[in-house]
Amino acid sequence: MDLFLMTIATGIMVGGIYALVALGWVLIYKCSGVLNLAMGEMTLIGAYTSLSFYSMGVPFLLALAISLVIGFILGILTERIFLDKLIGEPVLTVIMVTVGLSFFFKGTIGFIWGTDTRVFNPPVFSMEPVRFGPIVVGSVYLWSFIAAMILLVIFVCFFKYTRWGLAMQATADDEMAALSIGVSARFVYAAAWSIAFMASGVGGTLLGNINGLNISVGYLGLLVLPAVVLGGLNSVPGAIVGGITIGILQNLCGTYLDRYFPGGVKEIAPFVFMTIFLLFKPHGLWGWERIERV
């Protein structure tokens, strides 16, 4: 029973990070309709930037802040240079441009930072595990989860109460109507990309604190896809629930199914779930079902 509870707890904690990255993904999709496959590499860029600054001796929070600023700038640049020209193009074109971007980013990251695993040294979070009754959780996980949750709250508030957030929601809802009341759609797209860059950067930094950072952490960007499919492509709460659910499912499979199917069950399980889910409920829990007209 303890094992079960602990698995669930770890799943929730890791799921929090997935949720954060998934949120960035949903944000881009909601505002500009771009299905982004470069999320993993965006995560890596943020994570490597903060790690580099941290290794230079910059305090952790400051390093994170710098990586956020860089993520912001990169987000605007990406949108302006590549995605801006593709508004209104068919879905495959836009997806493949993000695939191209992901290769471009990955190649650049690999060229700059190499393939070795790097760790945050000295460790940011203490190695001492935290106990809640029978459940023992690594403090890194706990802090990551807390940070992810704080950011989620910030995002939700941003969307509900600030002017920019409202403008973004308006554009997502109906671009034409938003344009006619004076919202700059180009501004909104740029903002969506830079916020997504920042969110995934934070997610990556937290994940890098758990097991160190190497280029395969970008795999996270693919794990986001099952999460958003589960929650529905254009639903912010869906991203959070989806992320946490995928985290839990993944850890449950890792704990219980590994015996029967040795090897990489943990890596593959989210995709199996995703395929099954797609067969039965392709629009996710809270996604909009689009009615097609010929």
Structure tokens at 84: 């801006």
What is the three-class DSSP state of 138? coil
With CB under 8 A as the contact rule, the residue among 95, 135, 149, 179 that binds other proteins is 95
Which runs of E-coded beta strand occur in 74-232? 130-132, 135-137
Site string for other proteins, 106-145 (x = CB under 8 A): xxxxxx--x-------------------------------
Question: What is the nearest approach in angstroms of other proteins to the Cβ of residue 85?
Answer: 5
Instruction: Determine the Cα–Cα distance for residues 43 and 40; give it in Å rounded to an integer.
Output: 5
- The Cβ-side half-sphere exposure at 154, using a 13 Å CA radius, reads 11
Min separation Cβ 225 and other proteins, Å: 6
- d(C-alpha 198, C-alpha 78), whole Å: 13
Residue closer to other proteins (CB basis): 105 or 145: 105
Report yes or no: 55 and 121 within 8 Å, Cβ to Cβ.
Answer: yes
Least separation in angstroms between CB 266 and other proteins: 11
Of 121, 162, 216, 275, the one binding other proteins by CB under 8 A: 275
First to last CA, the chain: 54
Q: In the bound complex, what is the minimum distance in angstroms from residue 246's beta carbon to other proteins?
A: 13
**Contact, 249 vs 268, CB < 8 A?**
no
Q: Which one, 18 or 105, has the nearer CB to other proteins? A: 105
| Contact characters 12-41, other proteins, x per CB under 8 A | -----------------------x------
Instruction: Give the separation between CA 77 and CA 243, rounded to whole angstroms.
Output: 28
DSSP letter string, 34-91: ---S-HHHHHHHHHHHHHHHHHTT--HHHHHHHHHHHHHHHHHHHIIIIIGGGTTS-H
- Of 65, 86, 137, 252, the one binding other proteins (CB under 8 A) is 86
Minimum distance of other proteins from residue 265's CB (angstroms)? 8
Distance CA(76)–CA(98), nearest Å, equals 15
Is there a contact between 37 and 223 (Cβ–Cβ < 8 Å)?
Answer: no
- The CB-of-232 to other proteins minimum distance in angstroms stands at 12
Nearest-approach distance from CB 102 to other proteins, in angstroms: 7
Q: Is 260 in the site for other proteins (CB under 8 A)?
A: no
Binding mask 203-242 for other proteins (x = CB under 8 A): -------------------x--x---x---x---------
Would you tell me which residues interact with other proteins (CB under 8 A)? 35, 82, 85-86, 89, 91-93, 95-97, 99-111, 114, 222, 225, 229, 233, 261-265, 267-268, 271-272, 274-275, 278-279, 282, 292, 294
